[in-house]
Amino acid sequence: MKIRATQAIMECLLEQGVDTVFGYPGGTILNVYDELYRYQDRIRHILTAHEQGAAHAADGYARSTGKVGVCFATSGPGATNLTTGIATAYLDSSPVVFITCNVGENLLGKDAFQEVDITGIAMPITKATFLVRDARQIPDVMRQAFAVAATGRPGPVLIDFLKNVTAADQEVDYTFIPWRENRQSESLRVLTGSHEPKKPEPDDHDIEILRQMIAQAERPLLLCGGGVVRGRAHQEFRAFAEKLDAPVAITLMGGGGFPGDHPLTTGMIGMHGSRASNVACNECDLLIAVGCRFSDRVALDPATFAAQAKIVQIDVDRAEIDKNVTTDHHIIGSARRVLTLLNEGMSQYHHPEWKARILPMRAPSAAGTDARLTPQQVLETIRQRMPRDAIVATDVGQHQMWAAKYLHFTYPGQLLTSGGFGTMGFGLGAAIGAQMGNPDKQVFHITGDGCFRMNCHELCTVEHYGLPIISVVFNNGTLGMVRQWQNLIYGKRYSQTTLDRGPDFVKLAEAYGIRGFRVRSQAEMVQALDQALAAGTGAVIDCVLDMDEMVRPMVAAGSPITDFLLS
Domain 2-192 is of which CATH architecture?
3-Layer(aba) Sandwich (3.40)
| Known catalytic membership, residue 51 | yes
Instruction: Provide φ and ψ at 391, rounded to 5°.
Output: -100, 140
Torsion on CA atoms 42, 48, 52, 58, rounded to nearest 10? -30
| pLDDT score at 188 | 47
List of residues 6+ apart from 146 with CB closer than 8 A = 16, 68, 97, 157, 183, 184, 187
d(CA 454, CA 441): 25
Helix or strand run (H / E) with residue 159: strand 157-162
The pairing of strands 539-544 and 443-448 is unpaired
pLDDT in tens, 195-206: 344 567 999 999
User: What is the rounded distance in angstroms from the CA atom of residue 380 to the CA atom of residue 539?
Assistant: 19
Buried b (16+ CB within 10 A) or exposed e, 132-148: beebebbbbbbbbbbbb
| pTM given for the model | 0.94
Q: What is the 3-state secondary structure (H, E, C) of 49-71?
A: CCHHHHHHHHHHHHHHHCCCEEE
DSSP 3-state of 332: strand
Query: So what's the pLDDT on residue 345?
Result: 84
- Mean per-residue pLDDT of the chain: 94
pLDDT at position 366, please?
A: 60
User: Over 70: is that where the pLDDT of 494 sits?
Assistant: yes
CB distance 48 to 460 below 8 Å:
no
Look at 370 and 216; give whichever has higher pLDDT.
216
What pLDDT, on the 0 to 100 scale, is given for residue 198?
58
Query: How far from 400 is each of 68, 107, 376, 379, 445, CA to CA, in Å?
Result: 25, 45, 12, 11, 10
Q: What backbone phi and psi angles, to 5 degrees, belong to 199? A: -70, 145
pLDDT at 183 over 80: no
pLDDT score of 191? 44
Q: Is the peptide bond before 503 cis (omega within 30 degrees of 0)?
A: yes
Structural contact between residues 367 and 378, judged by C-beta atoms closer than 8 angstroms: no
Is pLDDT at 193 greater than 60 in this prediction? Answer: no
Among this protein's residues, is 361 annotated catalytic?
Answer: no
Catalytic residue among 113, 123, 492, 507: 113
Report the percentage of the chain scoring pLDDT > 90: 91
Kindly state the average pLDDT of the residues 63-79: 98
**Angstrom distance (rounded) from CA 482 to CA 461:** 30
- At 530, which amino acid appears? D
Q: Is 1 an annotated catalytic residue?
A: no
Whether 201 sits among the annotated catalytic residues: the reply is no
Sequence ranges of the domains in the chain: 2-192, 204-362, 375-556
pLDDT greater than 70 at residue 550? yes
Q: Tell me which DSSP letter residue 478 carries.
A: B
Instruction: Give the whole-angstrom CA distance, residue 166 versus residue 372.
Output: 59
- The catalytic residue among 253, 386, 424, 481 is 481
In 3D, which of 14, 20, 25, 73 has the Cα closest to residue 3?
Answer: 14
pLDDT in tens, 412-425: 999 999 999 999 99
Q: Do domains 204-362 and 375-556 have the same CATH topology?
A: yes
Please tell me which residue in 67, 114, 283, 527 is annotated as part of the active site. 114
The predicted pLDDT at position 364 comes to 65
Q: Kindly state which CATH superfamily the domain 204-362 is placed in.
A: TPP-binding domain (3.40.50.1220)
pLDDT tens per residue, range 239-256:
999 999 999 999 999 999
Considering the candidates 11, 15, 35, 51, report the single residue annotated as catalytic: 51
Q: Does residue 461 carry a pLDDT above 60? A: yes
pLDDT at site 560: 96
* Structural fold of domain 375-556: Rossmann fold (3.40.50)
Marked catalytic residue, from 7, 15, 130, 163: 163
Best CA proximity match to 503, nearest among 463, 469, 454: 454
- Annotation marks residue 142 as catalytic: no
Q: Are 397 and 450 in contact (CB under 8 A)?
A: yes
Distance linking the first and last C-alpha atoms of the chain: 68
Do 291 and 315 contact (CB within 8 A), yes or no? yes
CA neighbor of 202 nearest in space, from 353, 283, 311, 314? 314
Is it the case that residue 182 has pLDDT exceeding 50? no
Residues 6+ apart with CB under 8 A from 41: none
DSSP, collapsed to helix, strand or coil, labels residue 451 as helix
The mean pLDDT of 469-494, rounded to a whole number, is 96
* DSSP string covering 388-427: TT-EEEE-SSHHHHHHHHHS---STTSEE---SS--TTHH
- What phi-psi label fits residue 345: left (phi over 0), alpha (psi between -120 and 50 degrees) or beta? left
